[in-house]
Amino acid sequence: MKFNKLTKQITAALLITAAAIQTVGCGSSKTDDTQGKAEVEASTAADTVGTANSDKKTLTYGKAAGPYTILFEDAIKPILEEEGYTVEAVEFSDLLQSDIALNDGEIDFNVEQHTAYAENFNATYDGDLVPISPIPTVPAGIFSAEHTSLDELKDGDAIAVPNDAANTARAYALLQKAGWITLDPDKNIAEVTQADIIENPHNLEFVELSSTNIPATLSDFSYAVITGSIVYNAGIDPSTSLLNEDILDHLILQVVVKEENKDAEWAQAIVDAYHSDEFKQYLDENNDGLWYVPESLFE
């Protein structure tokens, strides 16, 4: 089991406490020296573990069934392996479980979330996850099982929308882009909800569902907003999107690590791989329009 930062702090504290107890119990003139020695040894041990963590060569990532992990495995992992890293996957049923493991120090990083999701996780679970580099992102889009144009919208149509906070906001922003609704301009676009719709001229009905359930129920709705990873996982042709979102900065996918590791050598190696000429060449040869590539990657 890996020692994370909390483990190191607890270990140091126990050693110091043990030394203190010995001082009280024995009353020896040497006890101050013993306590001081224990403190130094505990501090040195913690520093040693931290240093090893910074320049370690075996990295573990949270593996999810989505396009971002596949892109990492196909294009980034080989670059890291060429630099001497051993890269190992730990599979999770969903991103939340991956983030919990990341926050607990059981894995080193994942590549399946945008900044908005990470911030929501931190606020909800008292986490300390930080994005360290943008990565290519699949945009959310408006899809339909029966319509081939946005112009076929009818009054009272039912629209499926993702129900998790970050993706709900991006969905309503996309529906505003389509011209179907107007959102309160005084609200942060990254945090809008259905309650922030101030104009709905077509009296549309918005049904908020789990993102993973929307593709299976697409035929039950006139239109639906489906996020990029769900489009990929459901085998939907991304070219059938009737309108794609303008990806805001907080919705660009990221490499995410614990804050204590953001400056580690191995973390920088991952960042460098995503910004490398090798990765740019891979995208030039393999991006068929699925990926939105942030300009900052290859500036």
> Are residues 160 and 276 in contact, defined by beta-carbon separation less than 8 angstroms?
no
User: What are the helix (H) ranges across the chain?
Assistant: 5-26, 31-54, 67-71, 77-82, 95-103, 115-125, 165-177, 228-233, 265-274, 277-286
Res. 37 pLDDT band, cuts 50 70 90: very low
Tokens of 129: 């996850």
Question: Of 87-91, 216-220, 225-229, where does mean pLDDT reach its minimum?
Answer: 225-229
Tokens of 296: 């900052």
Strands 110-114 and 129-134: unpaired
- The neighbour count for residue 80, using CB atoms within 10 Å, is 19
pLDDT in tens, 253-294: 999 999 999 999 999 999 999 999 999 999 999 987 789 999
pLDDT at res. 32: 47
pLDDT at res. 53: 65
Res. 229 pLDDT band, cuts 50 70 90: confident
Query: In CATH, what class is 141-246?
Result: alpha beta
- Cα–Cα distance for residue pair 93/83, rounded to 1 Å: 30
Instruction: State if pTM tops 0.75.
Output: no
Architecture of domain 55-137+251-298: 3-Layer(aba) Sandwich (3.40)
Q: Which amino acid is at 78?
A: P
Question: Of 70-84, 159-173, 194-208, where does mean pLDDT reach its minimum?
Answer: 159-173
